[in-house]
């Protein structure tokens, strides 16, 4: 298994996709039901394969992940063999960077905040790098302002 098995709730939410996955892999419903009763190792292997397919699909579409703490926002962007890390620190104790509205406030006044941008070369596939970040608490982000800040800070 390349990634981790999806939690039961996610598997339930992806029931239709799982049924399609079984069909694509030549496993009709009757065979699946029999497997669940007689061959739990094979069932677990199929669930693991499906989980990897889902993770791979998600990670290939992911460009950026973020981790929010009260006083720090960390954004990581993977592209072309590089990991760019943006760290935003709130100088004001009343700002809580776990809240979207406070992030928006801080980002609208970037001249008065501490920003660090670092670029590191990565030697593993982008999907694996992103997965490692997700495993330690990051989650997928699509905020275009982060990309703008990264681009303007690296000039």
Task: Write out the two tokens for 150.
Answer: 């990264």
Average of per-residue pLDDT across 2-15: 94
Task: Write out the two tokens for 34.
Answer: 């029999």
In whole angstroms, what is the distance from residue 106 CA to residue 154 CA?
19
Q: Are residues 57 and 73 in the same domain?
A: no
Domain termination site, one of 45, 61, 77:
61
Q: Assess if residue 27 is contained within a domain.
A: yes
Q: Assess if residue 17 is contained within a domain.
A: yes
Q: Are residues 134 and 105 in the same domain?
A: yes
Q: Are residues 25 and 80 in the same domain?
A: no
At 38, the pLDDT band (50, 70, 90 cuts) reads: very high
Q: Are residues 49 and 80 in the same domain?
A: no
Q: Are residues 51 and 68 in the same domain?
A: no
Residue found by looking up tokens 């992103």 in the block: 130
Q: Are residues 90 and 146 in the same domain?
A: yes
Q: Are residues 69 and 141 in the same domain?
A: yes
Mean confidence (pLDDT) of the chain: 91
Cα-Cα-Cα-Cα torsion 35, 37, 19, 65, nearest 10 degrees, comes to -100
Q: Assess if residue 3 is contained within a domain.
A: no
At 26, the pLDDT band (50, 70, 90 cuts) reads: very high
For residue 52, give its domain range.
8-61
Average of per-residue pLDDT across 65-74: 95
Query: How does pLDDT run across 114-145, given as a tens digit for each residue?
Result: 889 999 999 999 999 999 999 999 999 988 88
Number of domains in the chain: 2
Q: Are residues 71 and 42 in the same domain?
A: no
- 139-141 and 82-89 beta bridge pairing: unpaired
**Whether pLDDT at 154 is above 90:** no
Domain termination site, one of 61, 89, 106:
61
Q: Are residues 44 and 76 in the same domain?
A: no
């Amino acid at each position: 298994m390349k990634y981790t098995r999806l939690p039961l709730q996610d598997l339930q939410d992806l029931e239709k996709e799982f049924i399609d996955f079984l069909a694509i892999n030549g496993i009709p419903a009757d065979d699946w039901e029999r497997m669940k009763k007689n061959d739990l190792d094979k069932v677990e292997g199929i669930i693991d394969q499906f989980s990897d397919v889902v993770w791979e699909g998600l990670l290939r579409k992911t460009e950026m992940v973020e981790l929010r703490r009260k006083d720090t926002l960390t954004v990581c962007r993977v592209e072309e063999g590089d990991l760019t890390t943006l760290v935003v620190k709130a100088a004001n104790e009343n700002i809580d960077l776990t809240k979207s509205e406070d992030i928006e406030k801080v980002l609208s006044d970037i001249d008065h905040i501490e920003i660090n941008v670092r670029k590191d070369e990565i030697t593993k596939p982008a999907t694996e790098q992103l997965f490692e970040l997700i495993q330690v608490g990051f989650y997928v982000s699509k905020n275009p302002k982060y990309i703008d800040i990264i681009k303007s800070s690296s000039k």
